[in-house]
Amino acid sequence: MSTVSTHVLDTARGKPAAGVPVRLSRIGTERPGDRAADLVVELGSGRTNEDGRVNDLTPHGLPPGTYQLWFDVAAYAAASGQEIFFPEVTVTFTITDERHHHVPLLLSPFAFSTYRGS
């Protein structure tokens, strides 16, 4: 089984983004081979700590599959007194192997980026 963590950094302020609401979901279909719309199942949620991290989104581990991390950037912007162009960020990724997956998010008022961390 795999685990997932995230880390949000506010690159405009040069520090971790504390208090960002984060939600982890699994993306799948109701039945194998079903061509219906994707089914989204929330697996865990939390807020980034003072270091901008959420470490406990997957207490039981994750099997291979497609997942999403959703970040409520608007809530963070309001709390930090910033205007941000993107009110939310959704990062969709696929787990194919059993290991820890770290998915950082770098924020600025008019851009964001992410990558597969270690």
Model pLDDT for residues 52-83, shown as the tens digit of each residue: 999 878 878 899 999 999 999 999 999 999 99
Judge whether residue 22 has pLDDT over 60.
Answer: yes
Does the predicted model carry a pTM greater than 0.85? yes
Quote the CA–CA distance of 17 and 98 in Å, as a whole number. 28
Q: Residues 81, 106: contact at Cβ < 8 Å?
A: no
